[in-house]
Amino acid sequence: MATRTVQTVRAGENNAKQRASTSARNSAVDTVRNPATDLAPATPRPASYLAEFAADVRASLTKQPQRELPSKYLYDELGSALFEAICVLPEYGLTRADARLLQRHARDIVDALDSPVQVAELGSGSGKKTRWILEALARRQRTYYYPIEISPSALAACEKEMGQIELVSVVGYEKTYLDGLRAVATRRDTQDNLLVLFLGSSIGNFDRGAGDEFLREVRKTLRHGDALLLGTDLVKDAATQILAYDDPTGVTAAFDLNMLARINRELGGNFVLSQFRHQARWNDAERRIEMHLVARSLQEIHIPRANLRITLEPGESIWTESSHKYVTSEIDDMARRTGFQCIDQWVDAQWPFAQNLFLAE
């Protein structure tokens, strides 16, 4: 049995990879934290982080004609725990479809790439589904896995679980998607190919134009021979899609409402959660689910740390998340437009969801 070691590397300690690879152990966990966002649970938020959160809340809540909140703020410790619960809801088939495809095709995916391959994952969450890819790679080589996450609790869970896999070393990055990916790309050796995972249809959280722009930025950090595995949830009937984002047990509603609770906790806001209801809307023209928090009555909102006062009319909503849906035939074009070639696509038989393997052109 291999000895397992858990190690945390903070900013300034940049030799984690070397130490992990030269030690005798077979698995390792390191974390590269951003000092500006070192948000271990129960640690007060640093001033710079709170200033950015406050500025984002202020800018998005004052948008007209539609007030918004950025979906990335759904994921504090409670939000990440609620997202894990969403993943096992009977109505939310997306995660199970994603997992089935990864389990079934992990070998095909890694066989498409030349060794040595290192793996970076954008918004890993707990990373549970990624096990199939890491195990398939570890059968042929020692593998470095770089989960990139803004949620400290999700990153910690991911590091703990993936750090158990033989011949896999985990180096976590508590950063935003592109900052994390750039950091990973600069530390890799010249012979390493990079497989970037963007699973669970997180691409769907971007508006379509912004999604293309994001994929182009991802492509800029990659070299010829690198790959991107992109999950895309496919269009299905509206009732099924709405239920997936508004389950009868109210877990998704709690996930959504927690954004307001987070603003109360961290920015001193006065949202009364019982005066808002979660709503999932299917926007047919844009082919997306929109999550909204709708005021049940007139609300005078004060958020002192964002220096913000607003009035919400009864029935007025705050748009908190989009989840765009795709058709398989548009994926090839999406790859071409953003500097990739889609070399393979697998579609789940039970829940319309596609796993797409893009090669950097």
Give me the least distance between CB of 332 and ligand SAM, in Å please.
23
* Bridge partners for 171 per DSSP: 30
Q: Which residue has the tokens 């004052």?
A: 62
Which two structure tokens, joined as six digits, stand for 16?
């984690």
How far is it, in rounded angstroms, from Cα 216 to Cα 222? 10
Binding mask 28-67 for ligand SAM (x = CB under 6 A): ----------------------------------------
Stretch that binds ligand SAM, among 24-32, 103-111, 123-131, 339-347 (CB under 6 A): 123-131
How far is it, in rounded angstroms, from Cα 223 to Cα 339? 11
Contact (CB, 8 A) for 130 and 146: no
Residue number with CB closer to ligand SAM (177 or 312): 177
Q: Which of 91, 122, 59, 64 is closest to 253 using CA atoms?
A: 91
Work out whether 154 is an interface residue with ligand SAM (CB under 6 A).
yes
By the 10 Å C-beta count (0-12 exposed, 13-18 middle, 19+ buried), 215 is classed as buried
Residue number with CB closer to ligand SAM (148 or 183): 148
Q: Which of 179, 158, 181 is closest to 360 using CA atoms?
A: 181
Q: How many residues of this chain interact with ligand SAM, rule: CB under 6 A?
A: 19
Binding mask 298-337 for ligand SAM (x = CB under 6 A): ----------------------------------------
Q: Which of 151, 338, 355, 356 binds ligand SAM (CB under 6 A)?
A: 151
Query: Which residue has its beta carbon closest to ligand SAM?
Result: 200
How far is it, in rounded angstroms, from Cα 256 to Cα 79? 8
Give me the least distance between CB of 300 and ligand SAM, in Å please.
30
- The conformation of residue 235, written as its DSSP 8-state character, comes to P
Work out whether 202 is an interface residue with ligand SAM (CB under 6 A).
yes
Work out whether 124 is an interface residue with ligand SAM (CB under 6 A).
yes
How far is it, in rounded angstroms, from Cα 182 to Cα 335? 20
Work out whether 204 is an interface residue with ligand SAM (CB under 6 A).
no
- Judged by CB under 6 A, the chain residues 84 through 103 that form the site for ligand SAM are 87, 95
Work out whether 351 is an interface residue with ligand SAM (CB under 6 A).
no
Q: Which of 9, 27, 69, 75 binds ligand SAM (CB under 6 A)?
A: 75
Binding mask 173-192 for ligand SAM (x = CB under 6 A): ---xx---------------
Residues ≥6 apart with Cβ < 8 Å to 165: 27, 131, 134, 135, 138
The amino acid sitting at 221 is T
Residue number with CB closer to ligand SAM (177 or 340): 177
How far is it, in rounded angstroms, from Cα 238 to Cα 288? 10
* Interface with ligand SAM (CB under 6 A): 72, 75, 80, 83, 87, 95, 123-125, 148-151, 154, 176-177, 199-200, 202
